[in-house]
Chain A
Amino acid sequence: MLSQIIFAVALLLTIWIFGYTSSRYIKLFRITKPAFPVRDIRKRILLTLRVAMGQSKMFRKPFTGFMHALVFWGFLVILIGSIEMVIDGLTGSERSLKVLGGLYELIIALGDVFALLVVIAILIFLGRRLFLHVKRFEGIEMKYISHLDAKVALSIILLLMLTLIGMNAGYVALKVAGNEPIHGVFPISKHLAGLLEGMNVVQLHLFHEIHWWAHILLIFFFANLLPYSKHFHVFMSLPNVFLSRLDPLAKLPNMDSITREVKLMMDPETAFASAEGEAAPERFGVKDAEDVSWKNYLDSLACTECGRCTSVCPAAITGKKLSPRKIVMDLRARMREKGKGLISQGKDFIDQKALLRDYISEEELWACTTCNACAKECPININQPTLIVDMRRYLVMEEGSAPGELKAVFNNIENNGAPWQYSSEDRLLWAKDIEIKKS
């Protein structure tokens, strides 16, 4: 009974802290701007199955992709075991999901095997971070804390798996020693249970309890650490994939506020008719955290800083300042910095800083070729180019700021309908003297 009370208190504390964290994130999401209506649920489910469950984009790098897929699939299977542990902990029962019968045996067996596979994958990941010089883990945005963050998360996952294996081995050994039936199949742990043969039933019981409690308390701790680390990825990736932008990558979202203005210029009457009841926007484009859409913000929270985007960015590859990962991380950092004020004082809160210039320089923004390599590469469908263009929109339309050559392009398009300074009278010169043959 005492252990049930302790468990319930730990669980409530976990939920309470998690609830507090979530409420702050929800408040920040409320400040963000609309992105697109979430339709095509069927398409989204299929996309989630393919990209999230099937890890399809991870496999663009086959080896690390496969390792990550093992960790993810393992996580899904082991999650069922964790749910069982919560039920057991609250009710004082043991292996309560055994009522599922054959399915239970399968889930437990898979979880046991995956625990070992995840250990192997995590050791490889830690090895890559500690001993190999992987270029995409470096960059100006990768500060000491980013590296620490990654290593802490990997270490916790490793501990989670080791305690799980210890718990399983202890369970098997305890049941064997007590001549009791074993629920579940343990292809890996049953061999490890042999190593515990020297222990008596009391010692085995203690061994099992220690691992059980260590495992579940670590989960509770991890769940509340995640929202404050880049590994919030664990929670946010799935929704981020489900809520992906479904348009072709090259399509930019339309600015309806501009459409109203342009229609007003071209035909005042239609514009008035359509503008009715709609508030004028405060700002064109993105200057600071509160200007971004909910999808931009969700992207930033789901990013786990893997750097695949930057590793394929033509600007980054050729030594320019732009790093798509930095753009995403900067948005997250800026929202964190400004969030407190935004939550307490609302959208009008100012702190004399902005995402533009204090975090992201114009040089970075103008280096983008909008080639969409970053967005294509991102395993969880983060879209960096639309945010970059939104920041260019602010620069151009609110500040009139752009590289001189682009200002000339704007002038040429406006004056002679082409980015170059040629007269529209000359538009057909190319067609002179073409020799035409007929079939």
Chain B
Amino acid sequence: MADLFSRGEQPEYLFWVGCAGAYDDRYKKVAAAFVKILSYLEVNYAVLGKEESCTGDPARRAGNEMLYQMQALQNIELFKGYKINKIITICPHCYNIFKNEYPDLGGRYQVISYVDFLDGLISSGKLVFSPEALGGVTITYHDPCYLGRGNDIYDSPRRVLQAVSGKLVEMHRNRSFALCCGAGGGQMFKEAEKGDKEVFIERTEDALKTEASVIATACPFCMTMMTDGLKYKSKEEDIKNYDIAELIVQAMGI
């Protein structure tokens, strides 16, 4: 972003990578996959690079409103400096906080979740691929809480998956009934409280019951949890956990 800005150019979109996209080894691949799609279509976008910083979401959900607001107000200042008004996120937690919570602090943007963005590209015919491209794998989709219940985004990820493979099967708890992966609200970063079972195992069992060979996720935390669940069940060889963006890249062969 800084480079473009210094050349006096203004990209149409800011692609907000998020901390997981930047640092989590597995999710780095998702960020890379999404960038492949953006570049393939020559979308006019930029990233903030080293200037990007945490949105404040984990702090906020864990009760540290002070730290959240410091992060948020700094980010809002940064966005103001670059005159940013369209933000694409690949993390539902970043999406939610920009879309719903930054406006309370004066940061108003057009915030686009990548699942909606990809859905738009497919329905407008810009992204074209054969539904057979993935060899007819059966996919089940795990709704991230912050897209689904949190922001009522249920259909666009399903349309995308229908496009990459006609075989989409639902877990018995799906859409607004979907079970959390167990990582929201700060849980990603701490041990779970004492109980009989880990939430991610319960949710992985939901996915395994569908007998799908791919679990599609659309959130970095869900991805960590579902991948861990597959490992716990020793299923990581037979069943793969991919992000929606990765499945598109595979289907397009880019």
Contacts and interface: CB of A to CB of B under 8 A. Distances in A.
Interface of A: 60, 247-252, 254-255, 258-259, 261-263, 265-266, 284-285, 312, 314-315, 317-322, 363, 366-373, 375-376, 385, 389, 391-397, 402-403, 405-406, 408-410, 413-414, 417-420, 422, 424-431, 434-439
Contact of B70 (A249, A265, A392, A428): A265
15 contacts: A248-B96, A250-B100, A265-B70, A312-B177, A317-B202, A363-B194, A393-B65, A417-B53, A418-B54, A420-B19, A424-B50, A428-B22, A429-B28, A436-B40, A439-B40
B100 A427 contact: no
B67 interface: yes
B69 A259 contact: yes
A384 B39 CA distance: 43
Contact of B54 (A408, A417, A426): A417
Interface stretch (B41-49, B132-140, B161-169, B231-239): B41-49
B198 interface: yes
Contact of A315 (B40, B49, B65, B199): B199
A426 B182 CA distance: 28
Contact of A397 (B50, B66, B96, B194): B66
A66 B103 CA distance: 40
Given A318-B198, A428-B22, A371 B62 contact: no
A397 B150 CA distance: 25
Given A413-B67, A419-B189, A438-B42, A318 B199 contact: yes
A263 B73 contact: yes
Interface in B6-43: 17, 19, 21-24, 28, 31-32, 35-36, 39-42
Given A389-B63, A413-B67, A420-B19, A436 B36 contact: yes
A251 B149 CA distance: 11
Contact of B32 (A261, A262, A409, A430): A430
B170 to A, nearest CB: 16
Interface of B: 17, 19, 21-24, 28, 31-32, 35-36, 39-42, 47, 49-50, 52-54, 56, 58-67, 69-71, 73, 96, 100-101, 104-105, 145-146, 149-152, 176-177, 179-180, 182-199, 202-203, 254
Contacts of B189: 405-406, 408-409, 419
B22 A430 contact: yes
Which of the listed residues B41, B145, B198 has the most CB atoms from chain A within 10 Å of its own CB? Answer: B145
A430 B41 CA distance: 20
B193 A367 contact: yes
Contact of A422 (B23, B105, B196): B23
Contacts, number: 234
A417 B19 CA distance: 9
Contacts of B177: 60, 312
Contacts of A363: 193-194
B149 A372 contact: yes
Contacts of A434: 32, 35-36
Given A397-B65, A431-B47, A252 B150 contact: no
A254 B193 contact: no
Contacts of B66: 258, 261-262, 397
A437 B40 contact: yes
B53 A318 contact: no
Contacts of B36: 434-437
A429 B105 CA distance: 31
Contact of A369 (B56, B151, B187, B196): B187
A426 B22 CA distance: 8
Nearest to A398: B63
B62 A392 contact: yes
Nearest to B185: A370
B145 A372 contact: yes
Contacts of A402: 62-64
Contacts of B22: 418, 422, 426-430
B63 A418 contact: no
